[in-house]
Amino acid sequence: YKFSWGEPGIDPGQFIRPHNIAVDNEEHVYVVDRECHRVQIFDPEGNFITMWNNIHRPDAMVLWQNHIYIGELNGMGGVDDAPGLGHRVTIYDLLGNRVCMFGAKEEGEGPGQFIAPHGIAVDSHGDLYVSEVSFTIRGSKMNPPKELRSFSKYERVW
């Protein structure tokens, strides 16, 4: 243990629910803050550099090559807090520019649909793996409870 930083709040350097981190080759520390709808970027000593806003409830994040892949979550507990927004994966360059996003407007288990993206990984081919907490978010609240898809792979097309 070396040190820590941050406190509860919505200002730069504060967090409501930090949910994932990544470190790039320049040693910038990216922190997903789910309930503040943002990613904050710090230097290795915890000094605030900048933030990317308007990322809807980011949960999952992975750095791969020169891009950050972020899983965005819509509603919880059976309530959609942004109808039609859809659960999605958004890809940003390291300057915070949106490169692309994918995911259907409606949640589900079909191709390109998500329920609750909560973990992301990218393999050496650039293929994307998305894990979801689908049972916790939706399936456990169904009558009767139902197991839902919780893992999917998307192949990178060059």
pLDDT (tens digit per residue) in 7-58:
999 999 999 999 999 999 999 999 999 999 999 999 999 999 999 999 989 9
pLDDT (tens digit per residue) in 73-125:
876 544 556 666 768 999 999 999 999 999 988 888 998 899 889 999 999 99
Strands of the sheet with 151-154, listed across from one edge: 117-122, 128-132, 151-154
Q: How many residues belong to the chain?
A: 158
Read off the pTM: 0.90
Q: Give the span between the Cα atoms of 32 and 96, in whole angstroms.
A: 13
Nearest to 57 by CA among 81, 78, 29: 81
Residue type, 5: W
Q: Are 5 and 46 in contact (CB under 8 A)?
A: yes
